[in-house]
């Protein structure tokens, strides 16, 4: 398919979504223009574009519109996040005579606010969640503007309300520039089901099926799948009809997602919000329908009617997407920052990413690094394919949630569809999704370390085919503890007395049979750290993982558990505090974290200043116990 009036598309975004949009644009014969900040001057999306323009910020409406005009763009694709749902941006583009791959500014204004969108839903006859005085505790306090889990707090009693509203307002103001709050009924056990719609300017409004996005932590999606596995046919029809009615009511054009909350207790569903943009999880819809949603967005922006009818939309099999984040999922889901060393992605499934080796990941942007998407003839086939794919994710130098995702997808709870929207925040994750044991990765790292010690020259993992010669004597390898490696020859031996047989070792990939179990891992041995990626999880030895950890508390020192910004300081030196009292609040990657007193005592040092950027590990407070004093 070729465009009729469009020739150049400016992608007003970064990372994996910018690359994904450019792939379709290039296939359609469109010239691509990227925007970038100083921090992203060498980023993959900049290198992939035909042209690139420097802007002060991805949120600078005037600068991005000016870049579009000066680069000769006919259309702007906003991706998701940043300016994708900002009505002033859509209005500025319209005034400049540039098309937007999205709805009008007026539709964005209506649907971008949860209070206004609720009114539209009522007019369309779509059921909505009880709010305000009609909602008993527990309630959900959430930002009227925006989404993505920002500015949301669950409140279970009146005593919690003031602190919850204050925190939600801060997050909402920082993320959306608007701290207006809504209070609505909180469904204790629900499923997040959303319907993909696509509409043109010629009166056609289609649904492209639904997705289940119930696996969430702190209201942020972790896994998404299509079709929704627990929705019966009658409810599915009602969901589709409600989404289409809502889109038609508001005069929607382009790709949009209508989100619903399905109450497990009653079977009823309620309208939550409409996202007036492409969703992060759109690949699962593309996998089961065979459609390219970015192409359809550009067709609509080109002023043409959609090239299909509702009868043409078919669902084939099942697809599941896993979001890979820079976060320590086994350490409280704290955001992470740092530089990658080795990055390997699976090759037999769809992977949308913009992460490379030796790339710096900062706290300046959203922590999502990529998406791994598996498609199969049914849900179980897709699930097993995703488990295998996540086995092959290897990201070293930076802690990610890939190992957690692998464990979650492999869990009985996910296999049996028992995960609702609050499950990850409610259950004992150590029991349900346990951290992978580090004993096997330690043995693999010890074996590789012993190989390197025995080598006279070269590198046994270099891709030039180098292999080691004569067997060495037993080696004592100092990792986080001493490990004895006894190599009988180049490929066989024992590690701490456990039988070990090397099958292959090249390009940092070690395949071996350990105690009768065949395993494969990516291993990187450096002077200051030994790392392994096994089943998606990053393991570090010789020193603790400097990016995973919580605030130090054993000596009363409270350190920054992540690089970020201090938002609030609530104590001064000399204050007497109880165990658990909040001393201050910091933020990184759009997430707030309270720093609390580890025990009762007196605050003796305060080195935190609101608004100041702090590095990982910076000592912000010191609390002294009375006995110590």
What are the mean pLDDT values of the chain's consecutive 10-residue runs (629 residues total)?
91 98 98 97 97 98 98 98 96 98 97 90 93 76 78 90 92 86 85 98 98 93 97 97 98 98 92 96 98 98 97 98 96 90 97 95 88 98 98 96 98 97 93 94 94 62 43 77 89 96 94 97 88 97 47 68 85 93 80 83 94 85 77
- Please state, in angstroms and rounded to a whole number, the distance separating the CA atoms of residues 611 and 569: 10
CA distances from 488 to 136, 338, 468, 521 (A): 69, 39, 13, 22
Residue (of 628, 564, 577, 563) closest to 606 by Cα position: 577
∠ Cα 20 24 27 (to 5°): 140
- Closest listed residue to residue 207, CA positions, set 181, 182, 237: 237
Q: How far apart are CA 275 and CA 108, in angstroms?
A: 9
One-letter-per-residue 3-state SS of 429-469:
HHHHCCCCCCHHHHHHHHHHHHHHHHCCCCCCCCCCCCCCC
Assign 233 to helix, strand or coil: helix
Confirm whether pTM is higher than 0.85.
no
Q: Give 306-310 contacts, CB < 8 A, sequence gap 24+.
A: 306/198, 306/199, 306/200, 306/202, 306/204, 306/206, 307/1, 308/206, 309/204, 309/206, 310/206, 310/207
Q: How much is the pLDDT for 464?
A: 38
Secondary structure percentages of the chain, helix, strand, coil, to 5: 25, 30, 40
Residues 6+ apart with CB under 8 A from 23: none
Coil, strand or helix: which one is 484? strand
The whole-number pLDDT of residue 144 equals 84
48 CB burial (10 A radius; 0-12, 13-18, 19+): middle
Bridge pairing between strands 139-143 and 343-344: unpaired
DSSP-assigned letter for residue 132? G
Q: Beta 31-36 vs 338-339: how paired, if at all? A: unpaired
* Residue closest to 4 by CA, chosen among 308, 205, 301: 301
Alpha helices in 184-340 (DSSP H): 233-250, 282-289, 293-301
Per-residue model confidence (pLDDT) at position 586: 87
Q: How far apart are CA 155 and CA 165, in angstroms?
A: 9
Q: Distance of alpha carbon 157 from its chain centroid, rounded?
A: 30
pLDDT of residue 174: 84
Cis check: omega of the bond before 227, within 30 degrees of 0: yes
Position 591 scores a pLDDT of 58
582-595 per-residue burial string, b: 16 or more CB within 10 A, e: under 16 = ebbbbbbbbbbbbb
DSSP state of 131: B
Instruction: Kindly state the tokens that stand for 498.
Output: 């456990």
- Sequence-ordered strand ranges (E) for 293-429: 318-325, 327-328, 334-335, 338-339, 343-344, 350-353, 360-361, 368-376, 394-395
Cis geometry, peptide bond prior to residue 173 (ω within 30 degrees of 0) = no
| 162 three-class SS | helix
Strand partners, 529: none
Q: What are the tokens at 142?
A: 């959430």
In a 13 Å sphere around the CA of 283, the CA atoms on its Cβ side amount to 24
**Residue 163: both structure tokens together:** 């602190």
Which residue in 244, 190, 198, 243 sits closest to 215, CA to CA?
Answer: 190
């Amino acid at each position: 398919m070729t465009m009729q009036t469009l020739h150049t598309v400016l992608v007003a975004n970064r990372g994996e979504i910018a690359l994904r949009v450019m792939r379709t644009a290039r296939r359609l014969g469109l010239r691509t223009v990227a925007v970038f900040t100083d921090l992203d001057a060498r980023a993959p999306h900049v290198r992939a574009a035909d042209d690139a323009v420097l802007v002060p910020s991805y949120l600078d409406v005037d600068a991005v519109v000016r870049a579009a005009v000066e680069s000769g763009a006919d259309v702007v694709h906003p991706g998701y996040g940043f300016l994708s749902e900002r009505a002033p941006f859509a209005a500025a583009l319209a005034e400049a005579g540039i098309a937007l791959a999205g709805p009008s500014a007026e539709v964005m204004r209506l649907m971008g606010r949860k209070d206004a969108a609720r009114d539209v839903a009522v007019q369309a006859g779509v059921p909505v969640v009880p709010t305000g005085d009609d909602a008993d505790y527990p309630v959900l306090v959430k930002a009227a503007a925006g989404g993505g889990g920002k500015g949301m707090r669950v409140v279970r009693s009146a005593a919690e309300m003031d602190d919850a509203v204050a925190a939600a307002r801060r997050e909402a103001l920082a993320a959306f520039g608007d701290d207006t709050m809504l209070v609505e009924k909180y469904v204790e056990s629900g499923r997040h089901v959303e319907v993909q719609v696509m509409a043109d300017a010629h009166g056609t409004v289609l649904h492209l099926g639904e997705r289940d996005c119930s696996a969430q932590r702190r209201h942020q999606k972790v896994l998404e799948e299509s079709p929704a596995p627990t929705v019966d046919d009658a409810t599915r029809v009602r969901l589709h009809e409600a989404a289409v009615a809502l889109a038609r009511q508001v005069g929607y054009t382009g790709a949009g997602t209508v989100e619903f909350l399905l109450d497990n207790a009653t079977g009823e569903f309620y309208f939550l919000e409409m996202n007036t943009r492409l969703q992060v999880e759109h690949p699962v819809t593309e996998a089961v329908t065979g459609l390219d949603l970015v192409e359809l967005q550009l067709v609509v922006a080109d002023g043409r009617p959609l090239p299909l009818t509702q009868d043409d939309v078919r669902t084939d099999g099942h697809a599941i997407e896993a979001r890979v984040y820079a976060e320590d999922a086994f350490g409280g889901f704290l955001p992470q920052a740092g530089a990658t060393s080795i990055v390997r992605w699976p090759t037999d499934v769809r992977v949308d990413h913009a992460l490379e080796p030796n790339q710096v990941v900062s706290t300046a942007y959203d922590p999502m690094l990529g998406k791994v998407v598996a498609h199969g003839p049914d849900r179980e086939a897709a699930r097993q394919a995703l488990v295998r794919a996540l086995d092959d994710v290897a990201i070293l130098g930076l802690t990610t949630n890939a190992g957690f995702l692998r464990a979650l997808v492999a869990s009985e709870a996910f296999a049996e569809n028992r995960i609702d929207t609050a499950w990850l925040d409610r259950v004992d994750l150590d029991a349900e999704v346990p951290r992978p044991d580090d004993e096997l990765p330690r043995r693999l790292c010890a074996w590789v370390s012993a190989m390197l010690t025995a080598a006279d020259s070269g590198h046994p993992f270099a891709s030039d085919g180098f292999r080691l010669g004569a067997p060495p004597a037993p080696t004592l390898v100092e990792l986080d503890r001493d490990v004895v490696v006894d190599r009988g020859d180049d490929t066989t031996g024992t590690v701490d007395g456990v039988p070990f047989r090397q099958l292959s070792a090249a390009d940092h990939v070690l395949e071996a049979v350990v105690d009768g179990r065949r395993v494969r891992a990516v291993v990187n041995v450096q002077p200051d750290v030994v790392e392994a990626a096994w089943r998606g999880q990053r393991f570090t030895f010789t020193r603790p993982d400097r990016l995973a950890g919580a605030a130090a508390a054993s000596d009363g020192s409270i350190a920054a558990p992540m690089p970020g910004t201090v938002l609030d300081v609530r104590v001064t030196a000399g204050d007497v505090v109880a165990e658990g009292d909040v001393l201050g609040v910091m933020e990184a990657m759009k997430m707030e974290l309270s720093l609390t007193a580890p025990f009762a005592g007196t605050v003796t040092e305060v080195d935190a200043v609101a608004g100041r950027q702090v590095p990982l590990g910076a000592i912000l407070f010191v609390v002294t116990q009375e006995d110590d004093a």
